[in-house]
Amino acid sequence: MKLTGNTIFITGGGSGIGRGLAEALHQRGNKVIISGRRRSHLDEVVAANPGMSAVELDITNPASIEKVAAQLIADYPDLNVLINNAGIMQPDQAGGHIDDALLVDTVTTNLIGPIRMTSALIDHLKTKNDAVVAYTSSVLAFVPLAVTSVYSSTKAALHSYVLSQRFMLRNSKVRVLEIAPPWVRTDLMNSREAEQAMPLDDFINETMAVLGTDVDEVLVEGAKPMRANPGPGEHAFVNGFNAQAVELFGG
């Protein structure tokens, strides 16, 4: 991906990985527009990064998506990069009762929302040079964390959708990228202080270096063992991973 001279829209840019990517890309001379549901978070990021812009967006609401997409095309006609980063992660009970609100919110935010957002902007992006649609998935798309099974499932589904979309856009101007983070110190699952998680700044620095290459999957070194897992040994790897995770998260 070209790292300078873009006009970039990032969902979930008010905190965590989304904010980290927004600031790193802003510092490289891109025009960056972030979105989220919490205006106070957006205002804080914009205040800390003069020249960055923000728009409120409810990624679970199709009307909000269509409204924001139309606004972006009108206000930023040079928009050529969409980074679908917004997501939520909550513990659940795959071995018991799954709370329906948790299920619907997670699937809508993590899977349906990015599909809708891309759908609303794709015809515009097809007309732009150096166009990119990127999705923040997770290594849990490849190795599910059993104590957050719905989240893991949405990321696996998102990975599948990326593969299909990349194929369908193979003869267009649009590149489709997948950013699959390992465990990173963010607010997800209260991981900001987790020693085992990758520091956010380290993740962003390494991700930006990989993002600037011609790869379709953006993986930091710590994510590669998880990405390499699917295959004949998958079940043993997943079971071993979750046996260790139970000690950290319970379940």
- The answer to whether the beta carbons of residues 156 and 149 sit under 8 Å apart is no
Look up the pTM and report it: 0.93
Q: Per-residue confidence of the chain (251 residues) as pLDDT tens digits?
A: 999 999 999 999 999 999 999 999 999 999 999 999 989 999 999 999 999 999 999 999 999 999 999 999 999 999 999 999 999 999 999 999 999 999 999 999 999 999 999 999 999 999 999 999 999 999 999 999 999 999 999 999 999 999 999 999 999 999 999 999 999 999 887 777 787 889 999 999 999 999 999 999 999 999 999 999 777 778 888 889 889 888 777 66
C-alpha span between 67 and 225 (Å, rounded): 40
User: Considering the chain, what percentage of its residues have pLDDT values greater than 90?
Assistant: 85
Give the tens place of pLDDT for each residue, 158-178. 999 999 999 999 999 999 999
151 catalytically annotated: yes
Question: What is the per-residue DSSP string for 40-95?
Answer: HHHHHHHHHSTT-EEEE--TT-HHHHHHHHHHHHHH-TT--EEEE---------TT
Encoding tokens for residue 12?
Answer: 């979930």
Distance CA 139, CA 155 (A): 8
CATH architecture of the domain covering 7-249: 3-Layer(aba) Sandwich (3.40)
Q: pLDDT tens, 106-147?
A: 999 999 999 999 999 999 999 999 999 999 999 999 999 999
Choosing from 76, 135, 151, 161, the catalytic residue is 151
Calculate the CA 31 to chain-centre distance. 19
Cβ proximity of 115 and 168 under 8 Å: no
Neighbouring residues of 92: CB distance < 8 A, sequence distance ≥ 6: 98, 99, 102, 103, 147, 148, 149, 150, 151
> Crossing angle for the helix pair 16-27 and 200-211, nearest 10 degrees?
50
Q: Cα separations (Å) of 94 from 56, 86, 108, 159?
A: 33, 23, 18, 21
The rounded Cα 172 to chain-centroid distance in angstroms is 22
State the Cα–Cα distance between residues 238 and 142, nearest whole angstrom.
9
